Chain A
Amino acid sequence: MHAYDYLLILAFFALVLLPAPLLGRFYYNVMEGNRTFLTPVMGPVERVCYRLSGVDPKVEHNWKTYTLALLAFNLAGFVVLFSVLLFQGALPLNPQGLPGMEWSLAFNTAMSFVTNTNWQNYSGEASLSYLSQMAGLTVQNFVSAATGIAVLVAFCRGIGRRSTQHLGNFWTDMTRAILYGLLPLCIILALFLVWQGVPQTFAHYIDAVTLQGADQTIPLGPAASQIAIKQLGTNGGGFFGVNSAHPFENPTAWTNLFELVSIILIPVALVFTFGHYVKDMRQSRAIVACMFVLFLIGGATALWAEYQPNPALNIASVEQTAPMEGKETRFGTTATVLWATATTAASNGSVNGMHDSLNPLSGMVALANMMVGEVIFGGVGAGLYGMLLNVLIAVFLAGLMIGRTPEYLGKKLQAREVKLLVATLIVMPVGVLVFGALAASLPGPAGAVSNPGPHGFSQLLYAYTSATANNGSAFGGFSGNTVFHNLMLGLSMFIGRFGYILPVLALAGSLAAKKTSPLGLNSFPTHGPLFVTLLTVTILLVGGLTFLPTLALGPIAEHLSLGF
């Protein structure tokens, strides 16, 4: 590693952690409808939205109405996106004259973007019109992220409030998250990206003649605006097929740094937002510490693994260094590994290098990050509510150990809450192990893999893990664009999203209705090193025990067979 590698790592952590407390407070004020410096600009837009859609921003809902609103809104979004993709051939803003999408691919893509997964069984520059990219995908990039934030703040209110049915108003939560939380940051990032070389135009693709006289088509489009939100909203769906490895999507080391920071900027900030909701910032610091520890374990392992030369390439005429297959020169090993770790820790799923070609153990870190449920910073909103579920499980385990009713921030966890918690624990195993096993055991679907041996198994495992965890990154050699995988991956994404959201909102409703018992000397403190350790171990055990056998069959077997 060189000086620039260390500087990059330092800059990344500084840019993510330093603004987080401030940004977290800003998000709290925004979501509670308090006045912020953006109110003069966005306030009028917000009020117009409410008036036109018949929303009374002062009305708060119980968990059932909140859930119903969320589902109706997501369903409407799904229908709009699915239709746009199917019929893009007949719609405007299609300068390349691209046809509509095949139905199963359109289903997969619509599900993928509505669930904040952004798994892509297509290549944007070859398959999507500008209208589909903008008015279809970009919109879902915003609203799916905003849905995540809405669920999170409803959960925060559930924990922070007492003896109430009210969890807030989904319509205002979603609208505020977009107008104040996402749009302003996106505009800044998008313009920075254009300055560095990302295209932003509605013009045709350009026909060029290369220096040696060959024809070359240069794909263009309104790329920067979509890339900004796909990074900030932990969406990850690239404008171009190869995502942020594409020199138009991520042209310099600097765009790489800021796109990388954007992946977890908001997820980290939202942990501090939680602290404001429960009026105890120690809770936020404990959770950030746990996430940070898990991130460092994964990141350090992946960095070490990826700097090992591939023993299969010990060829006399080849200089042996850290592998470069699937990596861009302008990023190199450190930036690619850092990205792979961040994008799977958060549920982003964008890539700046091909995970399929990573060394086995670095690929395994990406898999493991997703398998623990994307709670290491995680998706916008989704990461923290996933993490809070782990916090409650840790509290429950601690309660069993000391023989007292488990309590989190004065809320007793009783049978109903624990049942809901367990329901969320089943989601990842169903999507990864059940659906994955089904795909692996059918000859047609299993044929989607492109590499021989254990790595082929890893490709399929990665696909179903990525879909269920709503990540969206891939071992890209996997050919997912078949009717079977389009539908099954779509189903995995669906349960991976709503299999969490529904129990989380039910849990929020049930916690909000409880009284808060005062913290006594006998309460188990949920901050401090002891709890951070317990939480970290809980996450590793719950994910680890469930998925370790699959990792042994895939990446670990490949690692051993290569003779590192």
Chain B
Amino acid sequence: MSSVLRPAVSLIVLMTLITGVAYPLVVTGVAQVAFPEQANGSLVYDDHEKVRGSELIAQNFTGEGWFHPRPSAGAYATVASGASNLSPSNPALATRISDDAAKEKVDNQGPVPLNLLTTSGSGLDPHLSPAAAEYQVARIAAARNLPRDSVQQLIAANTYSPLIGPPVVNVLALNQSLEALPSQSR
């Protein structure tokens, strides 16, 4: 028994030092030098150097004049974030989607895209599908008294289409560029 005790204890200590201390430290060291922005949370700053969020983390936007993100099961809480975990057969899912659809529905437009009515797995999905963003253009243009085309162009400019995944629009970036547009009234 003692023949296995010493290696067992000393190897768990050594492996803790190698994989639990040295490995994360080395990765942190290299990451902080090579990719400092990403390693520290892809933070978004305003002109006064104040942190306004992270590119990768959804924030809530309400009101007619902003692009709304997808709903969040945890009300956009970040510590900890969560999902609805509603099963397809749960009546609560259909009820919630139906209620939200009534709020997001724009007159004279087709049905609301499902993307805009479903909560994501993380509760912090920073993206919309281009269709879900475009659905909101008419509402935003009217609220901000802007031509639809200029709002529409923002979507195109903020759409990212990877080779191996669906096209996505970052809602925070979209709303920031919306803010930057010269608008007649709010």
Which A residue sits closest to B104, measured CB to CB? A317
- CB pair B7 A53 closer than 8 Å: yes
Give the distance to chain A from B7, nearest Cβ to Cβ, in Å: 4
CB distance from A480 to the nearest CB of B (A): 12
CA distance A229 to B84 in the complex (A): 28
Are A328 and B89 touching (Cβ within 8 A)?
A: no
Residues of B near A124 (CB, < 8 A) are 80
Q: Would B85 and A202 count as touching, CB distance under 8 A?
A: no
Q: Are A332 and B85 in contact (CB under 8 A)?
A: no
Q: Report A337-366 CB contacts with B as 1/0, cut-off 8 Å.
A: 000000000000001111011111000000
CA distance A65 to B5 in the complex (A): 12
> Is A470 part of the contact surface with B, judged by Cβ < 8 Å?
no
> In the complex the two chains form, is B82's CB within 8 Å of A325's CB?
no
Residues in B neighbouring A321, C-beta threshold 8 A: 113-114
**A376 proximal to B (CB < 8 A):** no
| Bound complex: CA A257 to CA B61 (Å) | 30
State in angstroms the CA–CA spacing of A199 and B27 once bound together.
Answer: 11
- Bound CA–CA A11/B51 (angstroms): 37
- A-B CB contacts (within 8 Å), total count: 384
Nearest CB of B to A350, in Å: 12
Residues of B within 8 A of A89 (CB): none
In the assembled complex, the CB of A272 is this many whole angstroms from the nearest CB of chain B, namely 25
Question: A357 contacts B11, CB within 8 Å?
Answer: no
Which segment, of B119-127, B140-148, B149-157, faces chain A? B119-127
Residue from the list A186, A318, A330 in contact with B114, Cβ < 8 A: A318
List residues of B (19-40) whose CB comes within 8 Å of A's CBs. 19-21, 23-24, 26-28, 30-32, 34-35, 38-40
A560, chain B: closest CB distance, angstroms: 10
Give the distance in Å from the alpha carbon of A174 to the alpha carbon of B24 in the complex.
Answer: 20
With contacts A54-B6, A135-B21, A315-B98 taken as known, whether A357 is within 8 angstroms of B88 at the C-beta atoms is yes
Q: Using Cβ atoms and an 8 Å threshold, which residues of chain A touch B53?
A: 208, 210-211, 216, 218
Chain B residues whose CB sits within 8 angstroms of the CB of A323 once the complex forms: 88, 114, 118
- A296 an interface residue at 8 Å Cβ cutoff? no
Q: Which of these, A134, A206, A208, A211, contacts B175 with CB under 8 Å? A: A211
The listed residue (B15, B58, B118) touching A142 by CB distance below 8 A is: B15
| B78 interfacial by beta-carbon distance below 8 Å | yes
| B90 interfacial by beta-carbon distance below 8 Å | yes
A323 to B28, CA, bound (A): 38
A492 at the interface (CB under 8 A from B): no
Question: Does B185 sit at the interface, judged by CB under 8 A?
Answer: no
Query: A126 at the A/B interface (Cβ < 8 Å)?
Result: yes
Q: Are B16 and A80 in contact (CB-based, < 8 A)?
A: yes
Shortest beta-carbon distance from B114 to chain A in Å: 5
Residues facing B in A209-235 (CB within 8 A) are 209-212, 214, 216-220, 222, 224-226, 228-229
B54–A4 contact, CB under 8 A?
A: no
CB distance from A466 to the nearest CB of B (A): 14
Taking A219-B79, A360-B89 as contacts, is the C-beta distance between A68 and B35 under 8 angstroms? no
Nearest CB in chain A: distance from B155 CB, A:
14
Tell me, yes or no, whether A445 is within 8 Å of chain B by CB. Answer: no
- Bound complex: CA A125 to CA B124 (Å): 14
Does A521 count as interface, using CB distance less than 8 angstroms? no
A contact residues around B181 at 8 Å (CB) = none
Instruction: Return the chain B residue nearest A203 by Cβ.
Output: B40
Could you tell me if B8 and A73 are in contact, using CB atoms closer than 8 angstroms? Answer: yes
The docked-state distance in angstroms from the alpha carbon of A216 to that of B164 is: 32
Interchain nearest-CB distance for B90 vs A (Å): 5
**Residues of A contacting B57 with CB < 8 Å?**
216, 218, 247-248
Please report which residues of chain B, range 101-147, place their CB below 8 angstroms from some CB of chain A when the two chains form the complex.
101-102, 105, 110-115, 117-129, 132
Do the beta carbons of B38 and A325 come within 8 Å of each other?
no
Task: Tell me the nearest residue of chain A to B10, going by C-beta.
Answer: A53
Q: A245-B120, A318-B112 in contact; A225/B165 too (CB < 8 A)? A: no
- A450 part of interface (Cβ distance < 8 Å): yes
Q: Looking at chain B, what size class is its interface with the partner chain?
A: 35 or more
Given contacts A53-B14, A253-B164, A329-B129, whether A359 and B24 have CB atoms under 8 Å apart is: no
Query: Are A214 and B11 closer than 8 Å at their CB atoms?
Result: no
In whole Å, how far is A43's beta carbon from the nearest beta carbon of chain B?
A: 14
Question: Judging by beta carbons under 8 Å apart, are A206 and B98 in contact?
Answer: no
Residues of A within 8 A of B24 (CB): 134, 138, 200, 222, 225-226
Docked-complex contact B111 and A211, CB < 8 angstroms: no
Report A449 CB to chain B, min CB distance, Å.
10
**Max chain A CB contacts within 10 Å: which of B30, B90, B105, B121?**
B121
How distant is the Cα of A190 from the Cα of B30 in the complex, in angstroms?
10
> Does A27 sit at the interface, judged by CB under 8 A?
no
Q: How far is the CA of A191 from the CA of B35 in the complex (A)?
A: 9
Q: How far is the CB of A357 from chain B (nearest CB, A)?
A: 6
Q: How far is the CB of B143 from chain A (nearest CB, A)?
A: 14
One digit per residue, 1 when the CB lies within 8 angstroms of any chain B CB and 0 when it does not, for chain A 307-325 equals 0001011011111110111
- Do A315 and B121 form a contact, CB below 8 Å, given A175-B11, A208-B43, A330-B165? no
> What 1/0 flags go to B165-186 for Cβ under 8 Å of A?
1101000100110010000000
Given contact pairs A208-B43, A212-B62, A254-B162, A219 touches B10 in the complex (Cβ within 8 A): no
User: Is there an interface contact between B102 and A317, defined as CB atoms closer than 8 Å?
Assistant: yes
Q: A208-B51, A329-B70 are in contact. Are A242 and B123 (CB under 8 A)?
A: yes
A211–B165 CB distance below 8 A:
no
Q: Is the CB of B80 within 8 A of A123?
A: yes
Q: Does B122 lie within 8 Å of A562, measured CB to CB?
A: no
Using Cβ atoms and an 8 Å threshold, which residues of chain A touch B119? 325-326
What residues on B are CB-neighbors of A313 within 8 Å? 93-94, 97, 114
Q: Is A412 part of the contact surface with B, judged by Cβ < 8 Å? A: no
Report the minimum CB–CB distance from B4 to chain A (whole Å).
Answer: 4
Q: How far is the CB of B179 from chain A (nearest CB, A)?
A: 7
Which positions 31-80 of chain B face chain A at CB distance < 8 Å?
31-32, 34-35, 38-43, 50-63, 66, 70, 76, 78-80
Q: Which 5 interchain pairs have the tightest Cβ spacing?
A: A253-B165, A245-B121, A477-B85, A123-B80, A53-B10
Assuming A142-B19, A194-B38, A326-B85, what are 9 further A-B pairs, CB within 8 angstroms? A4-B162, A68-B4, A209-B52, A214-B60, A218-B43, A228-B27, A247-B56, A247-B124, A319-B112
In the complex, 23 of the A-B residue pairs with CB atoms within 8 angstroms, ordered by the A residue number, are: A7-B163, A72-B5, A134-B21, A135-B20, A138-B19, A139-B20, A174-B11, A196-B38, A210-B53, A212-B60, A212-B63, A219-B78, A222-B24, A242-B80, A245-B120, A248-B56, A252-B162, A310-B88, A317-B105, A326-B84, A452-B91, A455-B88, A455-B90
